[in-house]
Amino acid sequence: MAERGAARKRTSEEADSSIGAVAGTADPGPLELDRLIHERVRLGIVSALAVNGSVRFTDLRALLNTTDGNLSAHARKLEEAGYIACQKSFEGRVPRTEYALTPVGRRELQAYLDHMEAIIRATREG
Amino acid sequence: MNLARSLRPPPPEPVTLHDRAMDNLRFIRETMERSASFTAVSGWAGVAMGAIAVGAAWAARGQDAPERWVAIWLGAAGISFVVAIAGMFFKARTAGMPLVSGPGRKFASSFFPPILVGGILTVTLYAHGQAALLPGTWLLLYGTAVVTGGAHSVRIIPLTGIAFIFLGATAVFAPPAWGDAFMAAGFGGLHLLSGFLIVRRHGG
């Protein structure tokens, strides 16, 4: 069972690297894969923020079914890259963290979507 | 050796680039749909519905004829329904999400059964001359609809539903003369409060 899970994970990782390899070799310009967005939790964060003005940390955590630490780490990476903006405030005595997608993040998500569509189109045409 | 090889499970089929890309796009769409359910309810529509209810409470106060009292509130409910649908439609369009997508369907299928029961009870109670029980009944069933419809939404939606249920439970035991006050507090006050909170926290 564990072996099958590991095999599935390996296959998934191989597919990920294949996408990156194709993206990197076929056309290094517009088809280059944005690995920052490609990771599942980070992809979930930018997707959720794309259809909302801003989303609270607790709502994102529930939506993506992840832990505080995991969400914080991934959100920090996106924040450092300028894809999302973080606003911290207090609601009474309770700290409140909200995230919003920046114009850079929106552009990169669009590029990522274009990339995925290009892969699907290329496979169908091929 | 050959036997051992034949007993070994076959290697997993490799995931194709096409499947992986499709899976990623599906994940993005589902995440967007689920997160849109957080904000599918329009806060501005809630504020408008609250204002309509306050107006209806003012118009209905002191109405001696039950048919006129019921007509005022049903008229306000009809207008509020149109406002709520328009608000959701506008909000979904602004966010680039289809209104009849997963979250919209889930909300409607959970929201409308208690409303349907409310409609049947309205006819029954009115026909038996029990119009005084309508405020409590309406508040209770609308609250149930909001709790069930908003079960997968932002916390403010089911909490608003619980407040409606609490108010309705109080109203059914209160003197009939307080009916309009409960209606104004519930359909007016709670809609205004939750509407403003949704506008402030969940983008309009």
ipTM, interface predicted TM-score of the complex: 0.72
**From the CA of B145, how many Å to the nearest CA of chain A?**
22
> B interface mutation test: which of A25, A45, A51, A98 has the most B CBs within 10 A?
A51
Can you give the pTM of this predicted structure?
0.58
Residues of B in contact with A119 (CB under 8 A): 17-18, 21
Question: How many beta-carbon pairs under 8 angstroms link A with B?
Answer: 91
Q: Is B85 on the interface with A (CB under 8 A)?
A: no
Q: Which amino acid is at B141?
A: L
Question: Shortest CA distance to A101 belongs to which of A60, A56, A53, A58?
Answer: A53
Whether B35 contacts A50, CB under 8 Å = no
CA B64 to chain centre: 32
Q: Residues B13-50: pLDDT tens digits?
A: 666 778 888 888 888 888 887 776 555 688 999 999 99
Q: Residues A53-84: pLDDT tens digits?
A: 778 898 889 888 899 999 999 999 999 999 99
Find the residue in B nearest to A13 (Cα).
B15
- Tell me phi and psi for residue B14, to 5 degrees: -65, 145
Structural tokens at position B157: 């939606």
Residues of B in contact with A59 (CB under 8 A): 38, 154
- Classify residue B76 as exposed, middle or buried by CB count within 10 Å of its CB (0-12, 13-18, 19+): buried
